[in-house]
A and B are shown apart, each in its own frame.
Chain A
């Protein structure tokens, strides 16, 4: 079933919307959730909450790119779940990813105006647009999909060390790009 047909089911309040979403994108959502949370139960909870959210948001929303739209919900819910659970020393995937992202954070003392996440997203997108296809893919799969570094390295036939070096350079590049735009967090 194509995305428009699935979205029409949501608009018609037809419960098949959720099962069709699961059939088409359940695997994708689970992989994003699991990569971030690394706990099966949490990932499953996250994905099912995503479907509930989708049911609540559509209508009135009509996402143009349904997969990315679902993935963003998964990421938001995963962060909430991580915040709820991280005191239990779980979710190593998120710990590692956030730790790496510290490198990208452009900061200064006495920040006056904080940027919102959508504006930040646009700035990061502009920076991603300057990268080679490979680098852009590696960065998105690592930090948006949450694919572990070793998995990514295996998947694309690069050594993990080499990829780690590449990622470090990309994070620093992002930080520089954001600083040039005078974006501080």
Chain B
């Protein structure tokens, strides 16, 4: 979340990827850094340490949402 906000503050369209377990923390960080509306896409939890195949599958599933958020962010 913090990385996404830092990139967004540079004027570069950004989407934060946040797992469902960390979604409330993401909201807290976005609020505390003054960018509560930073676009974000939810990932299943856990993601770290799951198989390469699973991560590829998750990536394929969320890619449209990431692109959509980036396009909206660029308007």
Does B bind A? no
> Chain B interface (Cβ within 8 Å of chain A)?
none
